[in-house]
Amino acid sequence: MTELNEFLASETNPQIAKIFSAIEKASFIVSKEVGYQGLGDDILGAKGSENSTGDQQQKLDVYADGVLERALRNSGVVAGWASEESDHFVSFEGNEDAAYVVVIDPLDGSSNIDVNVSIGTIFGIYERVSSRREKVMAQDFLQPGRRQVAAGYVLYSVSTQLVLSTGHGVHVFTLEPWKRSYHRILDHVKTPADGKVYSINEVNFDDFNPRLQRFVQYCRDKKNENGKRRYTGRYIGSLVADFHRNLLKGGVYVYPSTGEAPSGKLRLVYECNPMAYLIEQAGGYATDGEKNILDLQPTELHQKSPLYLGSKVMMDEVMKA
Ligand code: AHM
Ligand code: MG
């Protein structure tokens, strides 16, 4: 089985390989802490603070944020980063000549942290557009998702997995914790063109627009020729985990706009864009209900967007609705 560093050496340039390597090292630490679940340091529970979009921060959110920031800063090849957990982007002093910036959701699925349910780290990598002699600028982070040069996520679950793309397909690596190394278990993953799963938080049903309500009702009612249900609902409440299942099994994930939250909940820069990049690499696609996510021009770091994402056939159905 190919090891991550071998794969990166043949797949991408040395700077991007170093960025992945920094995320890899950080993920060993985060994975260990996630796995402790109440053992060791007092790291479970709420931190008592809020992030920029008003979410309650968990202690592990803040811990993962610090570990990843240090790793990327010390890599020497990242000029700056923007994290879902911080109000502003950060320019890494001493790294001004670096070509890349990273956007990140350090620990996605916060509500699942303390209950031993899958969570993850989501990231995207861009080549900066500002001058390489200067500090990074907002425009480096506010690029359409299609400009990502690589993206991925780490899924902290029964095993820890790193899923990534550098623009040449999607590859899945599993962590062998006692060796602290990732081994590739799947290469050039294609999501099934059709799927059985629809993933949506149905408690908001009454607040969906009527067309989305019709689509959900269609998924609930649709039967196969043999009279069995055509679709099934699965929703973990961790985008990384819901995405990962649907990537491998086929399906559609929806976090729509609602009356209460017209732009939905998920962040365009940190969550929607990396996932949209990965699903396109796997043969599916993602939209905000109208436009392809990867073509949207972000205007603010923490801007939210509705997200419809998944296998081609189910996405075509939801878009038709
Ligand atoms: P987070 O980044 O604060 O964890 O929020 C994002 C998460 C996603 O992982 C998940 O899909 C969604 O929030 C779940 O929200 P809800 O509980 O409203 O269904
Ligand atoms: Mg998140």
CA angle, 148 as apex, 147 and 152 as ends, to 5°?
160
The closest alpha carbon to 138, from 307, 304, 302, belongs to 302
pLDDT at 73 exceeding the cut of 90 = yes
Secondary-structure class of domain 197-320 per CATH:
alpha beta
Q: What pLDDT does 39 receive?
A: 80
Q: What pLDDT does 55 receive?
A: 72
Question: Which residue among 24, 33, 69, 85 is the active-site one?
Answer: 85
User: Which whole number is the average pLDDT over 53-80?
Assistant: 90
- Decide: 182 and 165 in contact? Cβ < 8 Å: no
3-class state of residue 105 by DSSP: strand
| pTM of structure | 0.95
pLDDT at 57 exceeding the cut of 80 = no
Q: What pLDDT does 82 receive?
A: 98
- Decide: 106 and 113 in contact? Cβ < 8 Å: no
User: Which whole number is the average pLDDT over 116-137?
Assistant: 96
Q: What pLDDT does 189 receive?
A: 98
Q: Which ligand is nearest to the CA of 265?
A: 1
Assign domain 4-188 to its CATH architecture.
2-Layer Sandwich (3.30)
End-to-end CA distance of the chain: 43
Q: CATH 3.40.190.80: which residues of the chain?
A: 197-320
Question: Which pLDDT tens digit goes with each residue over 306-318?
Answer: 999 999 999 999 8
Question: Which residue among 33, 271, 280, 288 is the active-site one?
Answer: 271
Distance of CA 233 to the CA centre of its chain: 21
Q: CATH 3.30.540.10: which residues of the chain?
A: 4-188
Question: Which pLDDT tens digit goes with each residue over 258-289?
Answer: 888 999 999 999 999 999 999 999 999 999 99
3-class state of residue 185 by DSSP: strand
Confidence grade of residue 43 (pLDDT, cut at 50, 70, 90): low
> Does residue 171 or residue 55 have the better pLDDT?
171
φ, ψ at 239 (rounded to 5°): -55, -45
Question: Which pLDDT tens digit goes with each residue over 145-188?
Answer: 999 999 999 999 999 999 999 999 999 999 999 999 999 999 99
Question: Which pLDDT tens digit goes with each residue over 18-41?
Answer: 999 999 999 999 999 998 877 876
Distance 107 CA to ligand 2 centre (A): 7
Distance 94 CA to ligand 1 centre (A): 35
User: Which whole number is the average pLDDT over 52-71?
Assistant: 86
The helix-helix angle for 210-221 and 312-320 (nearest 10°) equals: 130
Encoded tokens for 236: 């973990």
pLDDT at 44 exceeding the cut of 80 = no
Q: Which ligand is nearest to the CA of 56?
A: 1
Q: What pLDDT does 112 receive?
A: 93
275 CB neighbour count, 10 Å cutoff? 28
- Decide: 177 and 29 in contact? Cβ < 8 Å: no
- Decide: 16 and 141 in contact? Cβ < 8 Å: no
